[in-house]
Structure 1
């Protein structure tokens, strides 16, 4: 009897927990009317008028951000961009069997992509800054993380779009999935005639778009949005067939491509781990390593510098590659003695660079020493001639009572510069006239062969 009560309490607790979790994770809580959500997404599909101009300006901003490698500017451009509209419209249309909305979304997405690539191509063609910065290079090849970001970001976007109270989730999704930078990078590829950049960036945009649309489609189906009804049953079946074919054509290749990205990412991680753990030698270091993955071949190229590693050790290392899942990977190890010419050139360049730097340092020091020697010589000359010059000045100026001559350091505070100046101090029995002081100043310049003389009178 007691066991029966415990079992009953246990079941009740489990049911209460399930009900609590269901209430917590209920997507219908706070949900907007489905028709209102469909209308909201449908309105954001169109690209004309203000929407098109906003897209163009946002592309310019994003292109500038990529050009100057400014993450903040790129994020700002993605906040401005209205690209999410037609992408979510495609997923919505597929989820509710609305063929007209699907065609409109695809048409507007095509217009947006064309305008975006054209705008960024024009910018990168005329910009004087043509170097590929790190922010731009990061958009040339998709990874598994890009796929996951697009998938989960799309889920967040459609759930936020179906709420009564709209949040900032959709702009956040636009930032996280980075729809605009790949299009700008594709434009850069066209402007510089680099097809690798163009194809890689456009591929990344397509992956992001497909998985955002797929997320929207899944949530729309899960939340059982009302499907579009037709009076003509034949037309309805035809539309459903078109939608199904489109969904299959879109999803199947994208899943295959995503699988390929996952396999490549795993291989690259295994290859990096293999090199970092196994390529450790007492007097030899890894100079650089390259990882080349394709469907035909997988190659790890490693360049070593230092003492020669014997063939037996290299063969043992290659055999260990199987433990890292690299059984079908070719491992190429280049050692410094196999490229003596290249190493000699490298050493020559290093020595030349060191020589030029040291020569510059020595030259600077020589110039400073020469300047100091000149200053010391001038100081000694002035000090030696001080009394003689004072006696001559007395002859020219009978009222002169005291006189001294010396070199002093003077700092120009406005230009932050320090220089030496010949300074003369003269005391007269009565205040001298301007003509007399000018005469003394000119005579001192001529007598001491100085360009300027600072004259202090008393």
Structure 2
């Protein structure tokens, strides 16, 4: 017969209750919350794009375009800090959450103006810039991933919670940086300026996904925190506004959720394809030089470049048969092998590219070490020459000086765990130097070498 476990004692139940109450207070959003009407007004003010806001946007777009053009991450981050794009995007979510149709129209209108001005500005810049090649920072904004969706969703949640506090933090600029709203618009302008329609579509797609999920996050928090909804004196008008907002919200969210679902599927497929190549294409005399993954409808393709012994038709067929086990249904596997006619040059280029990429960091590291050693050798040579010059001058000032040398030494500060360079001088007098003479020598060496501190060893 099973014995039931003893029920918690009243004392234990009291401790558990206090713990849950404590944790609930930790996560209470009412703590430090700004008046709801004040928050609505704060977000509504940031919706407008005219005057200073519009000029700031234009200049920020120029800064971001330059950063993408010269591949400078720091410049791009600075542009995202300047940008006021978050205002109308959060305004859309706020308007949908409180049934404010006027705010919703105003937010969409201002966002449309901001996007048009941003793309026009970046198009003009990339049309006149002498640097026309696409750098890595720019290429990174041509295709959204599942991580972009998650960043936009959680970043938007952080942004609206920060905006609802009495004390405004730097979370909203941080959200603008994390979700990267500016660079996709600049990349879209690059696509228009260079006639690359795929870049334009991919970058604008990324901006659209980010904007929708930031707005969705704002909407969810506004509803969760029960912000007061806008009421109308005419019930018929109120129902009409609610219908408009519901339809617009669904028309915006449903396509974006579907597109996000497609992004997730593509990301999972890419990961499985990489795992397949890494785990299954392993042969002792054949090496994978490069692999490309094409997520195309209705057929996905994995292209693998090989060097070494050629794989037979039977081996390639076996590899293709293993694709479903990795969830790679409706995926074709193609190979480019060395010696296969015109593919030989392509494989040779792949080899050179791979060798260059692998050795570039090593070469840079060696160059830095060589430069450091050269500077150390030069400093030692200068110190030796200085030691000879100072010794001759010191003999004139101190006739009793018999031996003298000066050099640099590494000193470790054991308390602060720091290593520093110290100028050390050794002097030998006969007869022994007085305290006054040794101080005079020490002060003179400081002036002569322009050193803040020296270590003088007397004998």
Same fold, TM-score > 0.5, yes or no: yes
Q: What is the deviation of 1:294? A: 2.4
Q: How big is the shift at 1:347?
A: 6.4
What secondary structure does 1:340 align onto? coil
Q: Select between 319-328 and 74-83 the one with higher mean Cα deviation.
A: 319-328
- What TM-score do the two structures reach when normalised by structure 1? 0.73
Question: The residue matched to 1:312 in structure 2 has which SS?
Answer: helix
Distance change (3 Å), C-alpha of 1:105 and 1:50:
same
Counterpart mapping for 1:168-187 below 5 A: 168-187=170-189
Distance 1:346 1:292, change over 3 A: closer
Give the secondary-structure state (helix, strand or coil) at the position aligned to 2:142.
Answer: coil
Partner of residue 340, structure 1: 341
C-alpha distance in 1 between matches for 2:93 and 2:112: 15
In the superposition, the TM-score normalised over structure 2's length comes to 0.73
In the alignment, the residues of structure 2 paired with residue 231 and residue 146 of structure 1 have an alpha-carbon distance, to the nearest angstrom, of: 42
* Per-residue CA distance 1:191-241 (angstroms, 9 max, x = gap): 000000000000000000000000000000000000001000000000001
Tell me, in whole angstroms, the C-alpha distance in 2 between the residues paired with 1:258 and 1:336: 39
1:246 equivalent in alignment to 2:238? no
Deviations 1:283-338 (A, max 9, x none): 1111221111123111111121111222222222222222211132111123224x
Structure 2 residue 78 is matched with structure 1 residue 76 = yes
Equivalent position to 1:133, from 102, 112, 135: 135
Alignment of 1:53-92 (within 5 A): 53-92=55-94
Aligned equivalent of 2:15: 13
CA distance in 2, matches of 1:81, 1:349: 40
Segment of structure 1 superposing worse, 13-22 or 261-270: 13-22
Unaligned residue ranges in structure 1 (runs of 5+) = 352-458
Give the structure 2 partner of residue 356 of structure 1. Answer: none
**1:344, CA displacement in angstroms?**
6.4
SS of alignment partner, residue 155 of structure 2: helix
1:328-378 CA deviation, whole Å, 9 max, x = no partner? 2111123224x2344268769999xxxxxxxxxxxxxxxxxxxxxxxxxxx
1:387-415 per-residue CA deviation (whole Å, 9 max, x = no partner) reads: xxxxxxxxxxxxxxxxxxxxxxxxxxxxx
The alpha-carbon distance between structure 1 residues 6 and 133, as it changes in their structure 2 partners (threshold 3 A), is same
Mark the runs of 5 or more structure 2 residues left unpaired by the alignment: 353-459
Whole-angstrom distance in 2 between the partners of 1:296 and 1:324: 18
- CA change 1:345–1:55 in 2 (3 A) is closer
Q: 1:344 to 1:36 in 2, by over 3 A?
A: closer
Of the two, which has the highest radius of gyration?
1
